Amino acid sequence: MRSTALFKTLVFTLALTASPLVLANNPVAVDAGSFAAQRASIEKGLADGKTYAELSSTERGEVRQSLDEMAALLEGGKTPEALPAEDKVRLYNAQETVNNLLTQASSDSRMVCTRQAPTGSQRKVTTCTTVAERTRRRDDDQDRLKRVQRGIGPIGN
């Protein structure tokens, strides 16, 4: 009885903390019925090349592996409440992996626009890039600067 109350409290807490996650602000559901629909939606998003474009192939593999593990645990219409304690932990760990990776991809895919005048011009130009593109460009620019400062080669190399 006590473990059931603890489990319900855990599920409620996870639901509250996971509410701002991806998939239209819904975390990956862990009951068999809604999980199947969400899994199909996630797989479609992974396959289209646009929805989760910021995920690396390794991260995509992690998401698919976690979804497979969740599906195996919920196989046969099982509910999280019906699972042994060890399987519940595996289920929620897999759920957290999926939610964290997809949330990060969602925030990296967010478009940020700036309006600035380029050097040597008075005319402002609007430039829109994703957070991930801005991060990649910043990292590349820092690497080039370090190479030039060390005398390794010109900027274009």
pLDDT per position as a tens digit, 32-83: 567 888 888 888 888 887 778 788 889 889 999 999 999 888 887 778 888 8
Q: Whole domain around residue 53: which residue ranges? A: 2-108
Instruction: Please report, for residues 73, 133, 151, 153, the alpha-carbon distance to residue 156 in angstroms, rounded to integers and kept in the order given.
Output: 52, 19, 13, 8
Give a yes or no: residue 81 inside a domain.
Answer: yes
pTM above 0.75, yes or no: no
**Do residues 90 and 139 both lie within one domain?**
no
Give a yes or no: residue 80 inside a domain.
Answer: yes
Return the beta strands (E) in the chain as ranges. Answer: 111-116, 125-130
**Do residues 76 and 115 both lie within one domain?**
no
pLDDT of 62 reads: 92
From the number of C-beta atoms within 10 Å of its C-beta (0-12, 13-18, 19+), residue 22 rates as: buried
The mean pLDDT of the chain is 76
Give a yes or no: residue 155 inside a domain.
Answer: no
Overall residue count recorded for the chain in this entry: 157
Q: Are 39 and 74 in contact (CB under 8 A)?
A: no
Give the bridge partners for 127, in sequence order.
114
Total domains present in the chain: 2
Give a yes or no: residue 157 inside a domain.
Answer: no
